[in-house]
Structure 1
Amino acid sequence: MKKILSVLTILTVLTAVSCQKSELKDVVNADNFFSVKQAAIASVNGPTTATVNQNVTFTVSWPYTGNCEKFSKFEADSLSDTTKIKLFTSTNIADDCTGKEVQHSSVYKFRAKKAGTYFLKFVGPDSNARPIVDTLTVK
């Protein structure tokens, strides 16, 4: 009986300690104040021709609400001549983010390693929406 009581006491203490550590981690972790989401893409502007190994820049614009939403990153998936590009934004949910709806933009860089025709497909979070496709001819 004493052994069972001792084991239960130890398990209870360990469970309580692990709960306290996770709660403390949540308070200390500042990343919990940031919300990252995939943004809808409003427009893409860039060249239609380039040379091999040339850095090509595309200005990607997206609508956002409030003054707290900022560019976070691009994610690109390439499959042969097609590159699927997603844009992500972050918002600090602890800030006051009231403001009018405006449009933001950021620069996406692309470099082709060989000649050919490349299709840059800029997609938003809604799978039913049509992506914006830019065609780049590389010589």
Structure 2
Amino acid sequence: MAKSLPIVMLIILFFAASCQKADLKDMLITPDSVSTIKISVASVSGPTTTSVNQEVSYLVTWPHSRTYTAFRNFKTDTLGQTSHITLYVDSNSCQTCIVNTTTATYKFKPTAKGTYYLKFLGRDSTHTIVDTVTVK
């Protein structure tokens, strides 16, 4: 038992040191870091017809007011010929921002003929804009 006590103490010391390193990593986050949020889309414009394997672009517009919202990315979940698209932006407080709109381009490339539904979801998924594209 006396021989295993130093080994047990060494293991405990090792785990305590590793926990302390994780705590230090959390403390390095700056208070003015940018957060990513979902935002509601105000409008979508793009083609209504295309061909198989032809990439098409849609101009997506969203409003912002008193918050700086820079485009981060789109997240697309596709089931069959319906795509649910969520817009993510970076958000920081901005005291001098004016009411304005911001735009980004969403690209879509159909792989088969048919009718595709592009559903741009709102912040809480209740406000949805649906764009339909026919692939010939």
- Give the TM bin, normalised by the shorter chain: 0.7 to 0.9
The answer to whether 1:46 aligns with 2:46 is: yes
CA–CA separation in structure 2 for the residues paired with 1:100 and 1:54: 38
Q: Give the Cα–Cα distance (whole angstroms) in 2 for the partners of residues 97 and 17 of structure 1.
A: 40
- Bigger fraction of residues in helix: 1
Corresponding residue to 1:130 among 97, 120, 127: 127
Deviation at 1:66, TM superposition (A): 3.6
2: CA distance, partners of 1:10 / 1:137: 64
Query: Percent identity over the alignment?
Result: 41
Q: Deviations over 1:24-52 (max 9, x none)?
A: 2124456x822111111111011111111
Letter in 2 for 1:75: K
- Displacement after TM superposition at 1:18 (Å): 3.5
Q: Does 1:111 align with 2:70?
A: no
Q: Which amino acid letter does the alignment assign opposite residue 23 of structure 2?
A: E
1:6-17 superposed matches below 5 A = 11=12, 13-14=13-14, 16-17=16-17
Aligned length: 133
The unaligned stretches of length 5 or more in structure 1 are none
TM superposition score normalised by structure 2:
0.80
Give the root-mean-square deviation of aligned CA atoms.
2.7
Length-normalised TM-score, structure 1: 0.78
